[in-house]
Amino acid sequence: MRLGRWNATATKHSPLEDVQGIGTGLLLVALGISVLAHLGFFVGGIAGVSLLIRYATGWNFGVVYFLCNLPFFGLAILRMGRAFTIKTIFVVAALSVVTAWLPQMLAFERLDPLFGVTLAGILIGYGMLAVFRHGASVGGISILAFYLQDRFGWRAGLVLLAGDVLIFAASFAFLTPMAIAYSALGALVLNLFVAINHRRDRYVAL
């Protein structure tokens, strides 16, 4: 039985596959952020900036995350297209809601910091790849990073790593050196995961 435009092809995802892939991806990212927030650590990108603002002010992470992403939506629609932008706005909005909802559904009785940051880096990396492979982004610097990779061939993970250097430099005003060291390890795991696995020549379906 044919499903019309809901059918997938070898080079194109169906809308149903997009919903499944993007939904799974943003849940993984939200879980990774929740792990970091529980430990009092952060990650690179706009999520990291939003966590630092949360630690400094007590403001809601989801609201800060959405507001910090607003300037990047303009780049997305100019450079990445309307469909990419609409999906990305949905991902950012959903991620803002899910990160606020998860603490009510999930609690950590014991979480080793070293294991936690490694797990968070892998979860967020997997989530970012899942979202981008379905024609969207988790927002922020990743929009710029993936655009630069598609436009100029720059590795997205390395672009994200460069942005993280600036964010980590600012983090010394808010966190202890130990917390920053753990956070740096998590960011390294995340960015290496993306740099190694995000290759358009190995995955062409969008």
pLDDT tens-digit readout, 98-133: 998 988 888 888 999 999 999 999 999 999 899 988
Query: Is 128:13 a contact under the CB 8 Å cutoff?
Result: no
Q: How confident is the model at residue 1 (pLDDT cuts 50, 70, 90)?
A: very low
Q: Is the pLDDT of residue 206 over 70?
A: no
pLDDT at 188 over 50: yes
- Residue 11 has a pLDDT of 60
Answer with the residue of higher pLDDT: 87 or 2.
87
Q: What is the pTM of this model?
A: 0.82
Angstrom distance (rounded) from CA 165 to CA 71: 20
Per-residue pLDDT band for 7 (boundaries 50, 70, 90) equals low
Q: Which pLDDT does position 3 carry in this prediction? A: 42
Tokens representing 136? 């969207």
Domain boundaries, the chain: 13-197
Cα separation of 89 and 102, whole Å?
20
pLDDT band at 202 (very low <50, low <70, confident <90, very high): low
Averaged pLDDT of the chain: 84
Taking residues 188-198, what's their average pLDDT? 82
Is residue 51 within 8 Å of 42, Cβ to Cβ? yes
Burial class (CB in 10 A: 0-12, 13-18, 19+), 181: middle
- Can you tell me the distance from the alpha carbon of 4 to that of 21, in angstroms, rounded to the nearest whole number? 20
pLDDT value of residue 67? 92
Q: pLDDT band for position 140 (50/70/90)? A: confident
Q: What is the pLDDT of residue 200?
A: 62
